Structure 1
Amino acid sequence: MHDTSPHDVIIAGAGPVGLFLACELRLADLSVLVLEQAPHPDSPLKRLPFGMRGLSSPSVEALYRRGLLEAVAARQAQRDPAAASAHWSRQPRAAGGHFAGMQFYLDRVDQAHWPYRVPGPCAPHMATDLAHLESVLAARAAELGAEIRRGVAVEQVEQSAHEVRVRTRDVSLRARWLVGCDGGRSTVRKSCGFGFTGTEPEFTGYSAQVELADPGLLAPGRHHTATGMYTYERSGVLAMADFDGGAFHRSGPITPQHIESVLRRVSGADARVTRLELAATWTDRAFQATTYRQGRVLLAGDAAHVHSPLGGQGLNLGLGDAMNLGWKLAATVRGEAPDGLLDSYCAERHPVGAQVLDWSRAQVALMRPGPGSRALAAIMRELIETGDGTTYFAGRIWGLSLRYELGAGHDLVGRSAPDVELADASRLGQHLRNGNGLLLDFTGDAQLQAWSRRRHGRIAYLGGDAGIGAKLGLGALLVRPDGIVAWAGSGIADRAELQRAASRWFGAA
């Protein structure tokens, strides 16, 4: 059977990345079809406690800039009893995150390290659960007019110079573009022959909900042992890393007997599992696609990169892909993109992905059993506890250090735009909800306002407070639809540089 109605974009995968990308593309009024293999979005692994996810600053800002943050924050995981009982939430000092299980604390973070970050509604990090996040994104995608078909798996992909043909079990679909957001075992990636390279796993990770014969036998918290690592909560939530080279992952059923065997080996305790309610395995396999685009097919999220969930970087990396790609692909489909715009997606996001994979590998190196890793971890723990060390790790884990290499210019270029308050009490981020670019003018120059009008609605003009501009040392900012600063200068005096930046990201006037 053939679907004769072509779509602008087909997205394979209705996880958070695919759904957020669908929302981005619908802001540009594109025809968007999302295909999802699973017949239903619900899964116990998406609900608390296993579905808990930490959102970094770029993800929080992306949700805020698209008007989604309030709905996501309405049920933050911190308010849930399962999260409140976690060992890190009951410490005397407020934890800001961890690296290889080593906590850093908020009282050591130097906020002055990020001078362009202004107080506002976006926290540098927050927690949510995957089920709630997906429900918010799915509702917004449907509200905007995206079509979501569940229980439909992509089986084969073929592309020509003009379109992509996607074959499922029952129908053949056509689209101008295809984006694979279909996870680490991506059919889109495999069908289109993308290179996928990296490092093989060192351990099998376990997440489980158990009942123990003696719940007091294991001390709550995270523990490194001679054979691996485990984290235990009295509620029965258990996580383990068994350094078996990833041998058990997806090799057979996860039985109570197997969980008990691994727990006894890793903990060294005479633990007895009387009931296994839920369990899943994962590994530290770290692979990345060699490119994120082949012709009319692109990759985002886990389809483009896989790594261990240590430190909670995977979801944030995928949402960052979607935010970066959406407006660029939309402009390309609409015929408004300047040369090279779509290729800048891979150029900007591939290095970020590679950095996260190395971040994951470094944590594994510190987790390995053995005196060498324990000695190195002890030194790293001392460094993390220093003010500079804490601030460095906070910047990396919270995503505050993210900067795209967009060429020479002001230090803000390539970074997230400061969410300054405007004269009407609105904030800069609120003016990005329609997915357009912004020109923020602190000088009140009529020539800049006239220049913005000539951009045919693709760059909205905002008047900023001169006092705030003086405090930031800026006259004006050009902001891309994803909230990244494309140009920063004194104002109309730097018109030539402004014009070059606008042409690069938005095309000719």
Structure 2
Amino acid sequence: MNPVVIAGAGPVGLWLAAELRLAGVGVTVLEPRLAPDPHSKALTIHPRTIELFACRGLADRFLGEGFRIPSGHFASLDHRLDFGVLDTDFRFTLAIPQARTEELLEEHARVSGVDLKRGHRLLSLSDNENSVVIDAEGPDGAYRLEAEYVVGCDGTRSTVRQAAGIAFPGTSYSVLGWLADVSLDFPPPGGAFSAGNGNGGLMVVPLPDGKYRLVGSAPEDVRGDWPGDLTLDEVRGKAVAAAGTDFGAHSPVWLSRFTNAARQAERYRAGRVLLAGDAAHQHMPAGGVGLNVGVQDAMNLGWKLAAAVKGEADLLDTYHDERHAVGVDLLESTQAQTSLMTAFSPDGQQLRGLLSKLLAEHPSFARGLAERLSGLSVRYPAGDGHPLTGVRAPNLRFADGTTLFDRLRSGRHVTVDFRHDELAEDRAEWKGLTTATIRPDGHVASAA
């Protein structure tokens, strides 16, 4: 019997698989695609996700390839959120195509010993309480396998979610967005750029291969019907309307539309079946947080699922409790940003201007939004009532030259005894502690 079968080898499935292998649990990943999709839906890696990579010794691989942007945006407002004020080693967003992220994570997963089966598709499953029976197909035809647990990391149309009978309530789309990966004859200075007015909004982000991603929305995109395939002429027109120029856009490698459909799985767990990433939540890609929340789902689930397989503890219900709440906040934020990004009327433009002014005038308000967007503000319910329990732990530096993230590389709980582990930095909130235990996902399990 397979300990764990994962459907889907996107970033979420790959990261979860590697986490399970780190804990010594066998895992098989079924992925219909023979290779990663060359068209990258996601482009942004936020600070908290870089921290997770650092906790496993992988951050440098990503930092060496991505384009660093020292800020983020909320609803594409003119006043950007300064990530330089965040309490993290990574005070920026990292622009790196999802295709490359998947390549790096696949390499990590394979080195970890993950059994990745490309060209294999999960067709159906049946949870019989003691195991899950899976019907699948591969290059040699249909076959059956059995697993202790199955995790659906197979996207918004998740076969696993549907087979498990987990409802996916929400709203259908009423707004379209668009993106274009193109070459620019006259790129904006510094690479990154954003602009907007009553005629539309536009963002420009440089890609590592010398091309640029243009992404935006316009008044004609506030609709509930599908207008057909996006064209380069349409992209040029929308860019000129929003920014006064199309930057000499040409030679597109990908043109696509996306929507603001918003749905969330009622349960992230049904018996021996679990969901993570887009299989659990669908939303407008406002702020570029989707891939990040999915990887953070996997980080939360990995050590808990490993403990269940090994018979050490049953914490799987806490996975739903902790991450479903994060998903609720995710949909609230992305839907609110969608409303603001498509506020093209004169009154709507006044609202956007006022909020942008408030962000500039109230640094604490702007920092709060930056912490939410970056993933650093996530806090899980405290069990012992201590103010630090449940918070994400920063990369504490110790007098012996080690850091907390160094110590977390094993994927196990880390207990810090402050009577011996002297901090090499001034952190008022950690003063007075005798001990603190940090979970494998970097959140504080207990403090005393």
Tell me the TM-score normalised to structure 1 length: 0.77
> For the residues of structure 2 that align with 1:382 and 1:221, how far apart are their CA atoms?
19
**Structure 1 counterpart of 2:368, one-letter code:** Y
**Structure 2 counterpart of 1:164, one-letter code:** V
Alpha carbons of structure 1 residues 330 and 347: separation in structure 2 relative to 1, 3 Å = same
Residue in 2 aligned with 1:498?
none
Give the match's secondary structure for 1:329.
helix
Q: 1:53 aligns with which of 44, 48, 53?
A: 44
Alpha carbons of structure 1 residues 253 and 152: separation in structure 2 relative to 1, 3 Å = farther
Q: Is the 8 A contact 1:108 1:385 kept in 2?
A: no
Alpha carbons of structure 1 residues 153 and 262: separation in structure 2 relative to 1, 3 Å = farther
Residue in 1 aligned with 2:133?
165
Q: Which runs of 4+ in 1 moved over 4 A?
A: 103-111, 210-216, 232-237, 255-276, 465-471
Q: Trace 1:374-389 onto structure 2 (pairs within 5 A).
A: 374-386=349-361, 387-389=363-365
Aligned length: 431
Residue in 1 aligned with 2:58?
68
Task: Find out whether 1:425 has 2:401 as its counterpart.
Answer: yes
Residue in 1 aligned with 2:157?
185
> For the residues of structure 1 that align with 2:73 and 2:383, how far apart are their CA atoms?
32
Residue in 2 aligned with 1:11?
6
> For the residues of structure 2 that align with 1:270 and 1:123, how far apart are their CA atoms?
32
> For the residues of structure 2 that align with 1:273 and 1:139, how far apart are their CA atoms?
34
**Structure 1 counterpart of 2:8, one-letter code:** G
Q: Is the 8 A contact 2:78 2:195 kept in 1?
A: no
Residue in 2 aligned with 1:486?
445
Alpha carbons of structure 1 residues 467 and 374: separation in structure 2 relative to 1, 3 Å = closer
Residue in 1 aligned with 2:90?
123
> For the residues of structure 2 that align with 1:215 and 1:394, how far apart are their CA atoms?
27
Q: Is the 8 A contact 2:166 2:270 kept in 1?
A: yes
> For the residues of structure 2 that align with 1:269 and 1:465, how far apart are their CA atoms?
52
Residue in 2 aligned with 1:411?
387
Give the match's secondary structure for 2:442.
coil
Which stretch shows the higher mean deviation, 60-69 or 342-351? 60-69
Give the match's secondary structure for 1:194.
coil
Deviations 1:98-126 (A, max 9, x none): 11112545769655xxxxx5x7xx31444
Task: Find out whether 1:311 has 2:306 as its counterpart.
Answer: no
**Structure 1 counterpart of 2:434, one-letter code:** G
> For the residues of structure 1 that align with 2:247 and 2:92, how far apart are their CA atoms?
36
Alpha carbons of structure 1 residues 262 and 420: separation in structure 2 relative to 1, 3 Å = closer
Cα offset for 1:236?
Answer: 6.6
> For the residues of structure 2 that align with 1:303 and 1:361, how far apart are their CA atoms?
18
Task: Find out whether 1:139 has 2:107 as its counterpart.
Answer: yes
Residue in 1 aligned with 2:305?
329
> For the residues of structure 2 that align with 1:483 and 1:343, how far apart are their CA atoms?
19
Q: Is the 8 A contact 1:203 1:246 kept in 2?
A: yes
**Structure 1 counterpart of 2:47, one-letter code:** S
Cα offset for 1:253?
Answer: 3.9
**Structure 1 counterpart of 2:29, one-letter code:** V
Which stretch shows the higher mean deviation, 478-487 or 296-305? 478-487
Q: Is the 8 A contact 2:82 2:367 kept in 1?
A: no
Cα offset for 1:391?
Answer: 1.5
Give the match's secondary structure for 1:39.
coil
Deviations 1:239-278 (A, max 9, x none): 2314343422xx7444446656766887899999876442
Alpha carbons of structure 1 residues 109 and 212: separation in structure 2 relative to 1, 3 Å = closer
> For the residues of structure 2 that align with 1:331 and 1:239, how far apart are their CA atoms?
42
Q: Is the 8 A contact 2:200 2:216 kept in 1?
A: yes
> For the residues of structure 2 that align with 1:323 and 1:412, how far apart are their CA atoms?
20
Q: Is the 8 A contact 2:72 2:83 kept in 1?
A: no
Give the match's secondary structure for 2:410.
coil
Alpha carbons of structure 1 residues 24 and 160: separation in structure 2 relative to 1, 3 Å = same
> For the residues of structure 2 that align with 1:18 and 1:478, how far apart are their CA atoms?
27
Q: Which runs of 5+ in 1 are unaligned?
A: 1-5, 79-88, 90-94, 112-116, 445-462, 490-509
Alpha carbons of structure 1 residues 290 and 42: separation in structure 2 relative to 1, 3 Å = closer
RMSD of aligned Cα (Å): 3.1
Q: Trace 1:271-420 onto structure 2 (pairs within 5 A).
A: 276-338=252-314, 341-368=315-342, 369-386=344-361, 387-407=363-383, 409-420=385-396
Deviations 1:384-428 (A, max 9, x none): 112222212222112222111124522211112232223431112
Q: Is the 8 A contact 1:209 1:237 kept in 2?
A: yes
Deviations 1:356-399 (A, max 9, x none): 11100111111222123212111110111122222122221122
> For the residues of structure 1 that align with 2:386 and 2:312, how far apart are their CA atoms?
27
> For the residues of structure 1 that align with 2:282 and 2:168, how far apart are their CA atoms?
10
> For the residues of structure 2 that align with 1:350 and 1:228, how far apart are their CA atoms?
33
Tell me the TM-score normalised to structure 2 length: 0.86
Cα offset for 1:464?
Answer: 3.8
**Structure 2 counterpart of 1:76, one-letter code:** G
Query: In terms of Rg, which structure is larger?
Result: 1
Cα offset for 1:225?
Answer: 4.1
Q: 1:438 aligns with which of 392, 409, 414?
A: 414
Cα offset for 1:320?
Answer: 0.8
**Structure 1 counterpart of 2:99, one-letter code:** A
Cα offset for 1:131?
Answer: 2.6
Q: Is the 8 A contact 2:72 2:82 kept in 1?
A: no
Alpha carbons of structure 1 residues 257 and 374: separation in structure 2 relative to 1, 3 Å = closer
Cα offset for 1:137?
Answer: 1.4
Q: Is the 8 A contact 2:81 2:369 kept in 1?
A: no
